[in-house]
A and B are shown apart, each in its own frame.
Chain A
Amino acid sequence: MSNAEYRNTITDLLGDSPATASLVAAATRSFPSETESLGFRNNADYLGVSTLVAQGYVDAAEQFLEPIATNQSFLSCTPTAGAEIDCARTFIESFGKRVFRRPLSADESAQYAAIFQKSLTAYDFGSAVRATAFAFLQSPKFLYRVEFGAAPSASSVRPTPYEMANRLSYLFWQSMPDQSLFDAAENNQLSTSAQIEAQARRMLQSPKASRLLEYFDEWLGTDTLPTTFTRDATLYPNLDANLVPMFQQETRAFVTSVLARPEGNLSDLFTAPYTFANADLAKHYGLLGPTGSDFVRVDAPGRAGVLTQGMMLARDKATRTSIVRRGLKIRLDMLCQLVPAPPPDVNLTLETTNTSNLTQRQRLEQHRTVKSCAACHDLMDPVGVVFEGFDAVGRPRTTDEQGGAVDTSSVIERTTDANGPASSPAQLGALLAQSEQVRSCYVTKSFRFFYGRDTDPADACSLAQLSKSFKGKAYSLSELLIALTQTDAFLYLPVRSSESP
């Protein structure tokens, strides 16, 4: 499990409440951040349980024993002396089913009853319940999503009903199944595509679906912004101390609104001439409208969806914008392109700090006259310059840090079908919004995050299914989430056995 999945799962296990949320947050605060791969932190191939992670699970679980042992839905009986095991068995059945996210086998029940019995002999009933709960929370059957599938039919293996319930719940909620999914699994109502789609639509409407915003946080990188800005106070005086959290809120509110409308689509992400802001953020941007602390929709002429939101424009340097980083973000995460490493031992100086009167754009142009530099900078720089009309903290501007007029005119090249002139983020957004390369990239990113793994050659059909559905639903973001539950990759197990922590 990723850290987010662990937190959500424990929260739902204990019963979602503000008290649970703060307990879980405190108990998991020192979990090490997961190993990153291809922009995400939930790729099962990189989520091994190292010593530090295992220690985190041990330390955290101790914090959860009290709420578990006092939860009536797990432990409703009163033990009688000499027959404590009877009461313990009901606990093991009910709690174990939640933790393993499926009913326990007879062997498993006996195994945990033995743990209970051993602790009871040494201590008392309450201690033994806690020791049993603790063992459940260290179990690989809790910490991993292990799938063996139902008995294979002629040529394919389908997940068992409980495995399918888990696939659905971890896709939409990044967490364990709810009672409705448990019931559906129990009654074998998760076998047809229509049954699965109906569940998916129900789940997408649940408040818990807000947890899938984790995808946008990781894809767009809003979660890895520094908690405070390190902007030069002389060049950027009087910045609001909460700028970074506000940028994060802005993007979450915006994405939520796009997802909430069935027709909200990829084009909206890259072209929307509006954003979401509270009074403080609107003031920072120079926008009119919002007056309170809530983030509300506000018209923002000249802006272009996520491309001009603060989180995107804030990946700059302390004293200036970074054309290179802005361009790099578009190439890697919107176009899914590769950028090779600079050759060894070249002079990487992009600019001198104060001896030149050239603008950053002009210095980069000079830099690209060197062939080895041009190979990559031709990718990044022409994309990055279209953002020069926004400063390093996301405000519109007409002059750069040195007071020179900004020049945003550019021609986008080296894409499959997003080439063309662009002189603003809005024009770049329009190119991206109609590009098959961008659409395909978005599908691939969604596949990686929501399935928690990279694509492999066997997924070609599933990716094609997704692209076809995406197009058929006019690139609706919420419909793509539904489509993710209808692919071969989701409905079947690969031939090899699979396991995902």
Chain B
Amino acid sequence: MSKRLSRRTLLRGAAGLGIGLPLLEAMMPRSASGATPTAPRRIMFVFQANGDQTKRRFIDTGETSFTFDEFLAPLEPYRKDLLLLNRLDRRYGKFQPNERADGHQQGGASLAPWKSGEGAFPIGGADKTIGYVTGPSADHEIGDRVLKDNLGVSTRHLVFRVNTKENNIWNVSSHAGPVGQQSPVNPETDPYNAYTSLFAGDAKDDPAALAALAKRIAMKQSALDNAIGEIGSLRAKLGAADQQRLDQHTQALRDIERTLNATTGGAACAPMPFATPKLNVFDDEKHVELGQLFFKVSAWAFACDHTRSINFNWSGNTSNRVYKNLGMTEGHHDISHVSDEEAFGKIRVIHKHLWEQSVTLHELLKATPDGPGGTLWDNTLVVHWNELGQGDVHSENDALVVLAGGAGGHFKMGRLLDFQNKATFADMLVSCFHYMGFEDVMSFGDPLLNSGGPLANLKA
């Protein structure tokens, strides 16, 4: 096994939050054989809320001659690495009224295209309460498959959300499943925490610090083993619903175990700590800075191969953030309910602002070395999405999904494809599974929401 180098050592002296990760063979993920360095494929979902104004997405809709209208203009510099999937349908109308929540709620769970359950909220169903969706999301399932295939990867998926403290049917986009069960994955809202969980346990340089770290890890390992054993004994005495919950707990403890091992097993990968002072993570006015910090953690997590699946959210769905930085006085969701030109003007300003922020992720990926002579951008697929199509009418069809990145050459990029609502959002997720190498997946989520296979005409 080749010795791995501490990234902290290498980055010492780098300024502030800079992420100029040097490329060293010893730090690159290896294929299972350990012979040739390979760059694994990664996927990152990036969410923004409340739908847009569909007729103002593009001026020219030609497959390769497309031109962006106002709010998508920040994407122009990346056009050769974009695959624009316009007018995908979500088909929630195929569900019975009690099986689907409202447009924001159900649309916000688009990554988990399953029927909604019962029992969590009094708004949404027809004559019963509505629940969370009853199956896993793509970020979770892809991460799960990666874990099963790659012993070196420690973290199934990372789920990040900027601002929004509460976790409810209006703001959770990741779900653990299994199929048939409501199991929302509450996101990390604190990038400092995310950083610490992933990197703070990494190897220090001096022996005393290393010994102290080893002692802490031994303590944790012993406690986790003990807890897993106790859960096993309890489990046998409990009913099925409780057993499922205990299984989730066991899986969580195993997740932590893997992280413990990843940070000691020589895979030293310690980027620079964040600059202080710490921001208030629930302050809407800090959303740009918080997003940037999450992007940095994401890039590091990919570069260190801690995970290959990330679900990032600029907000919860139905976000009512007031964009004071844009001169707004009303909340985003409130504005999105209004159909006049003044309101749409504000929506376009908000979306343009969020796209300007989202493309900084593109820049970060392009700046982070990965694979032989390449960067993370070459080996990552960024999936930009929204819970609605047109915001004011809460349309569940007309979804725009923007695929971005080199994506390992899997897709034929530089194109705009109009699906005319004849293919589905779930079909798009199937394409994501195929990109990640899981080509056995021909349907994801409820069959009613799938056409049976990936989207046509995407691949290179």
- Which of A's residues lie within 8 Å of B, judged by CB? 30, 32-39, 45-46, 48-55, 58-59, 62, 111, 115, 118-119, 122-123, 127, 130-131, 134-135, 137-141, 146, 148, 224, 227, 230, 232-234, 317-319, 328, 332, 336-342, 344-355, 454, 496-499, 501
Give the complex CA separation of A336 and B129 in angstroms.
11
* B282 adjacent to A134 (CB under 8 Å): no
Query: What are the 4 A-B residue pairs with the smallest beta carbon separation, nearest first?
Result: A341-B102, A54-B252, A135-B223, A37-B120
* A111 adjacent to B226 (CB under 8 Å): yes
* B186 adjacent to A50 (CB under 8 Å): yes
* A48 adjacent to B183 (CB under 8 Å): yes
**B298-345: which have CB < 8 Å to A?**
322, 324, 329-331, 334, 337-340, 342-343
Q: Choose from B123, B125, B169 the contact partner of A332 (Cβ within 8 Å).
A: B123
Shortest distance between the CB of B452 and any CB in chain A (Å): 24
* A346 adjacent to B215 (CB under 8 Å): no
Give the complex CA separation of A164 and B338 in angstroms.
54
Shortest distance between the CB of B323 and any CB in chain A (Å): 10
Give the complex CA separation of A131 and B218 in angstroms.
9
Given known A36-B167, A38-B120, A139-B227, contact A499–B392 (CB-CB < 8 A):
no
* B394 adjacent to A345 (CB under 8 Å): yes
Shortest distance between the CB of B140 and any CB in chain A (Å): 11
* B182 adjacent to A46 (CB under 8 Å): yes
* A318 adjacent to B394 (CB under 8 Å): no
* B337 adjacent to A501 (CB under 8 Å): no
Q: Does B396 contact A (CB under 8 A)?
A: yes
Q: Which residues of B contact A55 (CB under 8 A)?
A: 197, 252, 256
5 residue pairs of the A-B complex, CB under 8 angstroms, read A55-B252, A62-B216, A111-B226, A344-B103, A346-B394
* A338 adjacent to B120 (CB under 8 Å): no
Q: Which residues of B contact A349 (CB under 8 A)?
A: 337-340, 392
Q: Which residues of A contact B237 (CB under 8 A)?
A: 148, 497
Q: Choose from A115, A344, A351, A354 the contact partner of B92 (Cβ within 8 Å).
A: A344
Q: Choose from B105, B166, B248, B282 the contact partner of A49 (Cβ within 8 Å).
A: B248
Q: Does B184 contact A (CB under 8 A)?
A: yes
* A497 adjacent to B190 (CB under 8 Å): no
Q: Does B289 contact A (CB under 8 A)?
A: no
* B227 adjacent to A140 (CB under 8 Å): yes
Q: Which residues of B contact A35 (CB under 8 A)?
A: 120, 132, 167-168, 172, 184, 186
Q: Which residues of A contact B238 (CB under 8 A)?
A: 497, 499
Q: Which residues of B contact A338 (CB under 8 A)?
A: 122-123, 125, 127-129
Shortest distance between the CB of A346 and any CB in chain B (Å): 7
* B256 adjacent to A54 (CB under 8 Å): yes
* B322 adjacent to A230 (CB under 8 Å): yes
Give the complex CA separation of A347 and B394 in angstroms.
8
Q: Does B253 contact A (CB under 8 A)?
A: yes
Give the complex CA separation of A424 and B123 in angstroms.
26
* A317 adjacent to B168 (CB under 8 Å): no
Given known A32-B189, A34-B167, A348-B337, contact A341–B252 (CB-CB < 8 A):
no
* A224 adjacent to B166 (CB under 8 Å): yes
Q: Does B395 contact A (CB under 8 A)?
A: yes
* B239 adjacent to A496 (CB under 8 Å): yes
Q: Which residues of A contact B248 (CB under 8 A)?
A: 48-50
* B392 adjacent to A131 (CB under 8 Å): no
Give the complex CA separation of A52 and B255 in angstroms.
10
Given known A54-B253, A138-B227, A352-B340, contact A318–B166 (CB-CB < 8 A):
no
Q: Which residues of B contact A134 (CB under 8 A)?
A: 219-220, 223
* A37 adjacent to B119 (CB under 8 Å): yes
Classify chain B: how many residues form its interface, as a range. 35 or more
Give the complex CA separation of A146 and B168 in angstroms.
26
- Which of B's residues lie within 8 Å of A, judged by CB? 92-93, 97, 100-103, 105, 119-132, 156, 159, 165-169, 172, 176, 182-190, 193, 196-197, 215-216, 218-220, 222-224, 226-227, 230-231, 234, 237-239, 241-242, 245-246, 248-249, 251-253, 255-256, 282, 284, 322, 324, 329-331, 334, 337-340, 342-343, 392-396
Q: Which residues of B contact A337 (CB under 8 A)?
A: 122
Shortest distance between the CB of B428 and any CB in chain A (Å): 20
Shortest distance between the CB of B13 and any CB in chain A (Å): 29
* A32 adjacent to B340 (CB under 8 Å): no
* A317 adjacent to B334 (CB under 8 Å): yes
Q: Which residues of A contact B129 (CB under 8 A)?
A: 38, 338
Q: Which residues of A contact B185 (CB under 8 A)?
A: 50, 52
Given known A135-B226, A344-B93, A497-B237, contact A227–B339 (CB-CB < 8 A):
no
* A140 adjacent to B234 (CB under 8 Å): yes
* B342 adjacent to A348 (CB under 8 Å): no
Q: Choose from A53, A62, A341, A355 the contact partner of B123 (Cβ within 8 Å).
A: A341
Q: Choose from A32, A38, A317 the contact partner of B121 (Cβ within 8 Å).
A: A38
Given known A49-B248, A51-B256, A319-B330, contact A497–B322 (CB-CB < 8 A):
no
Shortest distance between the CB of B330 and any CB in chain A (Å): 5
Q: Which residues of B contact A39 (CB under 8 A)?
A: 122
Residues of A contacting B: mostly = loop
Given known A50-B252, A140-B246, contact A32–B187 (CB-CB < 8 A):
yes
Given known A32-B189, A36-B166, contact A345–B395 (CB-CB < 8 A):
yes
Shortest distance between the CB of A118 and any CB in chain B (Å): 7
Given known A45-B119, A347-B393, A496-B239, contact A119–B219 (CB-CB < 8 A):
yes
**From A130, which residue of chain B is reached at the shortest CB distance?**
B219
Q: Which residues of B contact A123 (CB under 8 A)?
A: 215
Give the complex CA separation of A224 and B167 in angstroms.
11
Q: Choose from B159, B183, B239, B393 the contact partner of A346 (Cβ within 8 Å).
A: B393
* B226 adjacent to A352 (CB under 8 Å): no
Q: Which residues of A contact B245 (CB under 8 A)?
A: 48-49, 499, 501
* B120 adjacent to A317 (CB under 8 Å): no
* A497 adjacent to B223 (CB under 8 Å): no
Give the complex CA separation of A260 and B234 in angstroms.
41
* A58 adjacent to B392 (CB under 8 Å): no
Shortest distance between the CB of A222 and any CB in chain B (Å): 13
Shortest distance between the CB of A2 and any CB in chain B (Å): 12
Give the complex CA separation of A322 and B223 in angstroms.
51
Q: Which residues of B contact A341 (CB under 8 A)?
A: 100-103, 105, 123-126, 130
Q: Which residues of A contact B242 (CB under 8 A)?
A: 497-499
* A355 adjacent to B329 (CB under 8 Å): no
* B219 adjacent to A339 (CB under 8 Å): no
Given known A35-B186, A338-B128, contact A319–B226 (CB-CB < 8 A):
no
Shortest distance between the CB of A13 and any CB in chain B (Å): 17
Apart from the given pairs A59-B196, A349-B339, 10 other A-B contacts in the complex at a CB distance below 8 Å = A32-B167, A36-B121, A46-B182, A50-B176, A111-B226, A119-B222, A123-B215, A340-B127, A341-B123, A349-B392
* A32 adjacent to B188 (CB under 8 Å): yes
Shortest distance between the CB of A244 and any CB in chain B (Å): 13
* A344 adjacent to B394 (CB under 8 Å): yes
Q: Which residues of B contact A115 (CB under 8 A)?
A: 222-223, 226
Q: Which residues of B contact A37 (CB under 8 A)?
A: 119-121, 131
Q: Choose from B165, B166, B184, B342 the contact partner of A353 (Cβ within 8 Å).
A: B342
* A348 adjacent to B330 (CB under 8 Å): no
* A348 adjacent to B392 (CB under 8 Å): yes
Shortest distance between the CB of B142 and any CB in chain A (Å): 16
* A352 adjacent to B222 (CB under 8 Å): no
Give the complex CA separation of A10 and B120 in angstroms.
29
Q: Which residues of B contact A119 (CB under 8 A)?
A: 218-219, 222
* A30 adjacent to B219 (CB under 8 Å): no
* B239 adjacent to A497 (CB under 8 Å): yes
Shortest distance between the CB of A218 and any CB in chain B (Å): 11
* A48 adjacent to B394 (CB under 8 Å): no
Give the complex CA separation of A295 and B309 in angstroms.
50
Q: Which residues of B contact A234 (CB under 8 A)?
A: 329
Q: Which residues of B contact A336 (CB under 8 A)?
A: 122
**From B101, which residue of chain A is reached at the shortest CB distance?**
A341
* A454 adjacent to B124 (CB under 8 Å): no
Shortest distance between the CB of A236 and any CB in chain B (Å): 10
Q: Which residues of A contact B256 (CB under 8 A)?
A: 51, 54-55, 58
* B120 adjacent to A127 (CB under 8 Å): no
Give the complex CA separation of A91 and B237 in angstroms.
28
